[in-house]
Structure 1
Amino acid sequence: MTTLDIPAAQASGSVEDERRHRKQQLAAALRVFGRLGYDEGVAGHITVRDPEDPRRFWVNPFGVSFGRISVKDLVMVDADGEVLEGGRPVNRGAFVIHSAIHDLRPDVVSAAHAHSIHGRALAALGTPLRPVVQEACAFFEDQGVYRDYNGLALETEEGRRMAEALGPHRAVVMRNHGVITVGGSVEEAAYWFVSFDRAAQVQLIAEAAGTPAYLDTDAARVAHSQFGSPALARYSFRILFDDVVHAQPDLLDE
C-alpha cells in the first residue's frame, strides 16, 4: 500500500530540551483549542507527562483561558495531585481524569479533553464516531464509549471508569459529556481531538441531511491505516503549531 512520506520526528536531545519541547507543544495546543472555540468556562484540559518522571504531568492551570496560556503558566503535578511547579491550582477534574489515564496507559504521553460543540453533540447521542468520511476512520475500531454519567468527574473512581472505557484506544466518547483523545505526544493527542471534532460535525450534518454512505469495514480499515497514522497526526499538528506561534508568539514565553 502506498503511503505518504512523512518526515520522522526529531529527537529533542536532553531531558531539559524534551521538557521544553513538550511544554511548548502543550501551550500551543491550548492556544489552538482556544482559537477553535473549545474552551467553556473552567472546563477543558490537556496534559503531557514529564520526560524525567512519567508519574508527573504538566497541565493548564485552573481558571485560565486557553487563549491566554503561555509556557510560563503551565503547572506540573505528581501522582497525588500536588502542585510541584507553577503558581496556580489544578482543575480537580483534570487531575482525576488524566491521572487515571496516565496510570492505566503507560503508552500515553498526552491526553486532551475539552467541551467542544460537535464532540458534545455526538456524545449526547451516546454513539461512537462512524466511518462517514475518510478522516473519521482514524477512529474506526479505535474508540471507546462511556455510557454512564455521574456528574462532574471529581472522584478518583469516576476518572478510573473513564480511563477503563478508553481502553487501548485513542479516543473515548463519554455520553452527555464529551470526548477524550490520547497519543504518544501532545501533537498526536491534540490533533486527534481536532480531527475527531471535525469528523463529528460532518457526521451530524450528514445524518441530519439524510442517510450517509458509510464506508464498509474493509474500506474503513484501509482508511484507518492511512489517516490513523501517528506520524501524520504529528505532522498535521505542526501546521497548526506554526500558525498559532506566528500569530501569538507570546505563547512561548517562559
Structure 2
Amino acid sequence: MSTTATEPRPAHLADTATGLPIPGEPYFATYEEARRHRKQRLTAALRLFGKHGFGEGISGHISVRDPEHRDRFWVNPFGISFNRVRVADLICVDSTGRVVSGRHPVNPSAFVIHSQIHALHPDATAAAHGHTPHSRALGALGRLLEPVDQESAAFYGRQALYGDYRGPSVSVAQGRAIAESLGDNLAVLLRHHGLITVGGSLDEAVHWFLTYDSCAQVQLLARAAGTPQTLTHEQALAAREGFGNQQLGRFSFQLLWDEIVAEQPDLLEE
C-alpha cells in the first residue's frame, strides 16, 4: 500500500516497506558473535530440511558466508544427516576447498557449487540447495514457477532454469556454470537435478527455498487438475512487492527458527 507525502500512514500499518511490523536485522558487536549467529541459523535450517523430508542420501547442502573472511563459507559436512547435524558438526571451507575449521570432510558438490555462488555473487550471503521431489518434477518438465498465486509471484522475473546437465556436480567449471546461470535471481532450477536459492541472509535464502518448493507443489497439483489461471503481469508485480520482500523473507524464517529450536534444542550443541 502506498500513500502520498501528505497522507498519514494508517495506524494499522508499520513503518516498513510492506507495512508489516517486522523488526530490523540483528546487530553484532564482534565477528565472533555474528559467526555464532550464522552457524546456529545454518544448523536450524539443516534440521528444517530434514523435518521437511528434503534429505536424499548424501545430497543437499546449505551454506552461509563467514562474516569476517568473505572468501570462506560455513556448510554442512559430508555424510551427516540433516536430522542429526549440530553446530559442532559444521565446517568452514575456503576458496580452494580446504576445510579451515571443523573435523569433517566437505562434500565436493557442496564446494564446487557454493564456492562459485559466493565468488560470483557478493550479495549472496547464503545459498540453499536440495533435491526435492517437487523441484525435480518441475525441472523435468523444463518449467519455471508461474504466478498461479501470490506466494509464487515472489519469484516472478527472479528465477532461472539451468538445463545443461553434465552429471554429478564435482568440477569447479560446472559449479561456475550453475552460478553464472543464477544471475541476479533468487532461484535457479536445475533440470534433472534440483533447486538452489540465495539470499542476503541465511534466513532469507532458506525461506525462498521452502517457498519455492511449496509453490512447485501447488503448480504441479493445479496443472494435474486442469488449467490454472495465472495472475496478470500487473497482479504478479503487486504480489511480488509484498511476498518477494527481502525483510519478509528474512523474518518468515524466524518463526521456523523458534519452532525447530523448541523441538530439537540439541541442534545448538557446540
Provide TM-score, normalisation by structure 1: 0.98
Question: Which amino acid letter does the alignment assign opposite residue 158 of structure 2?
Answer: D
**Residue 165 (1) aligns with residue 181 (2):** yes
> Over residues 58-102 of structure 1, what are the superposed CA-to-partner deviations in whole Å (9 max), with x where a residue is unaligned?
000001000101100000010000000111100000000001100
More helix by share: 1
Aligned match of 1:54 in 70, 77, 81? 70
- SS of equivalent residue, structure 1 residue 127: coil
- SS of equivalent residue, structure 1 residue 242: helix
Alignment of 1:168-183 (within 5 A): 168-183=184-199
Structure 1 residues without counterparts, runs of 5 or longer: none
Question: Which amino acid letter does the alignment assign opposite residue 66 of structure 2?
Answer: D
Partner of 1:234: 250
**Structure 1 residue 8, shift from structure 2 partner:** 1.3
> Over residues 140-163 of structure 1, what are the superposed CA-to-partner deviations in whole Å (9 max), with x where a residue is unaligned?
000111011100011111111101
- SS of equivalent residue, structure 2 residue 24: coil
**Structure 1 residue 232, shift from structure 2 partner:** 0.7
Question: Which amino acid letter does the alignment assign opposite residue 169 of structure 1?
Answer: N
**Structure 1 residue 32, shift from structure 2 partner:** 0.3
- SS of equivalent residue, structure 1 residue 161: helix
Aligned match of 1:140 in 151, 156, 161? 156
- SS of equivalent residue, structure 2 residue 188: strand
> Over residues 174-203 of structure 1, what are the superposed CA-to-partner deviations in whole Å (9 max), with x where a residue is unaligned?
111111000011101111000000000000
Partner of 1:218: 234
Aligned residues: 254
Provide TM-score, normalisation by structure 2: 0.93
Identical columns (%): 54
Question: Which amino acid letter does the alignment assign opposite residue 81 of structure 2?
Answer: S
**Residue 122 (1) aligns with residue 112 (2):** no
- SS of equivalent residue, structure 1 residue 6: coil
Aligned partners of 2:61, 2:26: CA distance in 1, in Å? 26
**Structure 1 residue 6, shift from structure 2 partner:** 1.5
Partner of 1:185: 201
Question: Which amino acid letter does the alignment assign opposite residue 252 of structure 2?
Answer: S
- SS of equivalent residue, structure 1 residue 134: coil
Aligned partners of 1:8, 1:132: CA distance in 2, in Å? 31
**Structure 1 residue 13, shift from structure 2 partner:** 2.2
- Compare relative contact order (CA 8 Å, sep 6+) and give the higher one, 1 or 2: 1
Contact 1:42/1:62 (<8 A) preserved: yes
Partner of 2:264: 248
Alignment of 1:198-209 (within 5 A): 198-209=214-225
**Residue 194 (1) aligns with residue 189 (2):** no
Aligned partners of 2:95, 2:131: CA distance in 1, in Å? 24
Contact 1:171/1:180 (<8 A) preserved: yes
Aligned partners of 2:249, 2:95: CA distance in 1, in Å? 28
